[in-house]
Structure 1
Amino acid sequence: MQLSPDPAIEWRRSLGQVPYREALAEQEARNVALAAGEGQELVWMLEHPPVYTAGTSADAAELVDPRFDVVDTGRGGRYTYHGPGQRVTYVLLDLKKRTKDVRQFVHALEGWAIATLADFGVEAFAVPERVGIWTHDASGAEAKIGAIGVRVRRWVTMHGFAVNLSPDLSHFTGIVPCGISEYGVTSMAALGKTVAPGDWDEALLARAGDFLAAISQTEPA
């Protein structure tokens, strides 16, 4: 489905569940094409059937109960859960056309998710020493509401971020999410916010221009 914050980018929304391995294979192929100067950049919003994914820093001791498929991804980070009720956004962009600064790219992803959550009345924030997108749960304690994990190969990005709309939070107990055991995981539903996937996508797209501006090239290539 072609949307239009930037017509040079393919903006795709999948409203059914896309198997994780299928999505990963498509990302790999698009990444290779973009690195070769071919194909179109892609921002893809979707959900997966339940799956645990392992980043390059994953510790086997943090895979507590592998009740779902476990996939090695090549992205940075540790173990993450994806499943129904969690909206994932994959961002495949050529940073040679934008900013060749991976940290700036990651901060822009955080800012995009945080600003969109605010549009639904959820105050979220980043914590420098902790990966992810954070908020306060119903008890007032800090809890993770979103995950970020990226891979950059030949300046072309893969993977992206995931925000918990209404997943089964018990599924996160099969891993130590992102290696952080001191804090819990929450969702928009757990905070009393009912948000349909399509409504989330529309809000995210409304903020896409700000995200793209945040990774615009600041110096000549």
Structure 2
Amino acid sequence: MDILVTPGLTPYAQALAAMGARVEDVRAGVAPGLVWLLEHPPCYTAGTSAEEGDLLKPRFPIYRVGRGGRWTYHGPGQRVAYVIRDLRPEPNLRGHVQGLMHWVARALASVGVEAAPREGRVGLWTPGEEKIAAIGVRVRSGVAFHGAAVNIDPDLQHFSGIVPCGLAGYGVTSVAQELGRTPLPVDFCDQALLEAAGDAFTETRPRRGSF
């Protein structure tokens, strides 16, 4: 798999189009998979299970996408990690999602933040039962895409416009909040994510790629 780290803010629609093109190239065998780290301008995205009642204050652009899950927020200070990966010949979506969670949890642990999955709740959660990372995946023609969104140091008030992942009663947190250090740059966990990627995705190649 290639590795790409994009600086600055990448418009969500632009990233979605780029992912779609890469998925087709991976499916056709003309490009390897990709681990893509980036950051979006503020927006809300709705997965296939999103309910309209969970959109409370639509103050940012809204994108309805085919990934699994419900509503989530993307914005500055959140590291988005898209993983485009060929799961053929026998796609194991559950195994892929578990691999994503293990990957992000290991990266967070290496910077001093404890996070783990919870039964019946998507994403990664701290011991205080606050969500620190969202997970959402789609598979097209055997190729997985979308991935994880890790709260490094975003404006957590922006999550108040939705019920994150449809789970009312639970809070959200960030790496900065857990460590008591702010501000933190969005690339704070990048090295940890890239190092852990080699174990999580054994086909990852130690180089940075591009579309």
Gaps spanning 5+ residues in structure 2: where? Answer: 205-211
1:59 aligns with 2:51: yes
The change in CA–CA distance for 1:33 and 1:47 in structure 2 (over 3 A counts) is same
Q: TM-score, normalised by structure 2?
A: 0.91
1:102 aligns with 2:93: yes
Task: Provide the rounded CA distance (Å) in 1 between the counterparts of 2:119 and 2:29.
Answer: 34
- In structure 2, the residue matched to 1:29 is 21
Structure 1 position 36, deviation (Å): 2.2
SS in 2 for 1:107: helix
- In structure 2, the residue matched to 1:185 is 172
- In structure 1, the residue matched to 2:152 is 165
Contact 1:92–1:156 (CA under 8 A) maintained in structure 2? yes
Structure 1 position 193, deviation (Å): 4.0
Higher RCO (CA 8 Å, separation ≥ 6 residues): 2
Task: Provide the rounded CA distance (Å) in 2 between the counterparts of 1:167 and 1:197.
Answer: 9
Q: 2:190 aligns with which of 177, 190, 201?
A: 201
Structure 1 position 107, deviation (Å): 0.4
Q: 1:142 aligns with which of 129, 132, 153?
A: 129
SS in 1 for 2:26: helix
Task: Provide the rounded CA distance (Å) in 2 between the counterparts of 1:109 and 1:193.
Answer: 26
Paired-residue identity, %: 51
Supply the RMSD in Å over aligned alpha carbons: 1.7
Contact 1:41–1:94 (CA under 8 A) maintained in structure 2? yes
Aligned length: 202
Structure 1 position 73, deviation (Å): 1.2
- In structure 2, the residue matched to 1:132 is 123
Gaps spanning 5+ residues in structure 1: where? Answer: 1-8, 216-221
Task: Provide the rounded CA distance (Å) in 2 between the counterparts of 1:188 and 1:13.
Answer: 19
- In structure 2, the residue matched to 1:16 is 8
Contact 2:42–2:60 (CA under 8 A) maintained in structure 1? yes
Structure 1 position 49, deviation (Å): 0.3
